[in-house]
Chain A
Amino acid sequence: MAEPALALKGLAKSFGALKVTDGVDLSIAPGELHALIGPNGAGKTTLVHQISGTLRPDSGAILFGGTDITHLPPQKRARAGLARTFQITSTIASLSALENVALGVQAHSAHPLSFFRDAARDEALNAPAWEALEAVGLTERAHAPAGSLSHGEKRALEIAMALTLKPKLILLDEPLAGVGHEEGERLIALLKSLKGRFAMLLVEHDMSAVFALADRVTVLVYGGVIASGEPAAVRADPAVRQAYLGEEV
């Protein structure tokens, strides 16, 4: 069997006395869309930070495609094909949407930091950037500053940026949060169309989206995993129903 795209082994992190990641074991197969759900403050974002490298775990290991990346800085993880989006959208506000995406293309080019040549007119960067914008339906807004995009457009832009990183895994931290119904539907369709090309870890509160998209679901409560498996099995799990989903599901 192929190495999992991502494997977490006994990952733990505390903020003072608060255990935000409590011995988490998790495995995501290549091409799998894995949903991570849990109540507010369960530690989902903190877990995403540790996987992307913007936070250090206290103990445990992170394996990416079989390689231990626990101590690798975030930029090296990104270059290895680990991309992410943020719960609070994170783009370069003054740069155009196209330039934001081109920044990602550039990171994976032969000369990411060359001097002199005008980057904005560099077709070697712009052509793949246009493709990524087209994949997420943002070509019309290509020259608009990222800061002026609607919330849903920013979410789509972040996904386009992730696409340029030749990803093997994309971490999506609540890509539907704060997005209107119509834009939300479009984003769900987009994620569905991307399924299978790379692994995805989807943090999401919108249960209909989770059950529509996920191959497997993991439930996090107080930093610990209380259930993990097929969506239907997780939905039926009594512990999950009690601790998180309540009676509504």
Chain B
Amino acid sequence: MSAVTTSAAIARPALPAARRLAPLVILGLLALLPLATALGLPAHWLTLVTRAMIFAVAALSLDLILGVGGLVSFGHAAFIGIGAYGAGILITEGQTELLVALPAILLVCAAFAAVTGYVSLRTRGVAFIMITLAFGQMAFYFAQALSAYGGDDGLTLYEKSTLLGREIFANRTGFYYIALGTLAFCYWLARRLVASRFGRVLRAARENAVRVTVTGYDVDHVRLGAYVISGMMAGLSGFLLANQTDFVSPAFMSWQRSGELIFMVVLGGVGSLHGAIVGALAFLIAEDVLSAWTQNWKAIFGPLIVLFVLFTQGGIAGLMTKLRGRRDG
């Protein structure tokens, strides 16, 4: 019997429908939201969800190393900060062109990720968490020391980035769709990456690094590659964030912000990619709603997240799968 007939005879099980459809449904609903504002939803929602989608790009990038690669980075906000400051400093210096700013930001993020990742990846587990936290704090203090660019107080931007001189970020709905397009592109990229040969090795190494090593792969090398890609993606989100808020400050890269990103990923369900998007949306919307309701929203929000994660195990994506399982079974 030849291998070919065997492989044809034993069909590969299809991907569960949820995994194929969930991201399409999420992105589709997001694409329709501006219509809802036309029908009376407060315009404030457009701004809020734009911000949430920008954070979703960062959460997605974190899920790539945390969920897929098994590396709990506690300094991921540093990349958002580098992206935001990159945009902010260039705009302050009169350089608003996106085609200049974005390549520069991605390059700096890649370099920062390569250096800090190389050092961090010599450690494992809690030590990795601590050392990425330390690098994040280094970036934070560096931004605080940038007195020419606002130092501790942050930097207000009086212009936005432009594309070939056109003010693409000026219009709120336009910005919304740019954020959505960026998110959709990053999701597609991450999904391809995870399914690729590179991604297969990254996934396998999360489960059993020794097996992957004796199969002939340099696990640290692969993880570093993922770390660099992830850092660049988070830098892209920082670039958008600076353009949305017209302001950058060291708080963009505080350790609390890094912690929030981990929350978003865990909230949505680790490793599923679309879970990170849902987690970021849920986090930012809940934060907005609760903070309008009470000043002590953080005291409510923290325990809520812990309870939610404990009871769903697998975050929102896990909960959906479970609910569907109950309905089907």
Contacts and interface: CB of A to CB of B under 8 A. Distances in A.
Interface string A102-118: 11101110011111111
Interface in A52-90: 52-54, 73-75, 77-79, 83-84, 86, 90
Contacts of A92: 203-204, 207-208, 211-212
Interface stretch (A120-128, A177-185, A213-221): A120-128
Given A54-B213, A103-B201, A90 B218 contact: no
A120 B6 CA distance: 16
B43 to A, nearest CB: 39
Contacts of A86: 211
B7 A126 contact: yes
A111 B197 contact: yes
A52 B214 contact: yes
The size bracket of the interface on B is 20 to 34
A134 B3 contact: yes
Interface string A129-168: 0110010000110110000000000000000010001000
Interface string B201-223: 10110011011111111110010
Interface in B214-248: 214-219, 222, 225
Contact of B196 (A103, A119, A143): A119
Contacts of B215: 75, 78, 103-104, 107, 161, 165
A143 B12 contact: yes
B196 A117 contact: yes
B75 interface: no
Contacts of B211: 86, 90-92
Given A79-B216, A112-B217, A119-B199, A134 B6 contact: yes
Given A75-B218, A78-B215, A79-B216, A106 B10 contact: no
Given A131-B3, A143-B10, A114 B214 contact: no
B193 interface: yes
B204 A113 contact: no
A99 B198 CA distance: 13
Contacts of B3: 127, 130-131, 134
A134 B23 CA distance: 37
Nearest to A147: B207
B204 A143 contact: no
A79 B207 CA distance: 21
A142 B200 CA distance: 17
A161 B212 CA distance: 11
B16 interface: no
Contacts of A104: 215-216
Q: Which of B1, B11, B201 has the most C-beta atoms of chain A within 10 angstroms of its own C-beta?
A: B201
A80 to B, nearest CB: 9
B145 to A, nearest CB: 37
A94 interface: yes
B28 to A, nearest CB: 23
B246 to A, nearest CB: 35
A114 B196 contact: yes
A240 interface: no
Contacts of B212: 92, 103
B292 interface: no
Q: Which of A90, A94, A103, A139 has the most C-beta atoms of chain B within 10 angstroms of its own C-beta?
A: A103
Contacts of A118: 192, 195-196
Given A95-B203, A130-B6, A114 B210 contact: no
Contacts of B222: 113
A99 B13 CA distance: 13
The 3 closest A-B pairs by CB, nearest first: A107-B216, A78-B216, A130-B3
Given A104-B216, A120-B200, A165-B216, 14 more contacts: A73-B218, A74-B214, A78-B216, A84-B214, A103-B201, A106-B197, A107-B217, A112-B197, A113-B217, A114-B196, A115-B197, A118-B192, A125-B197, A130-B3
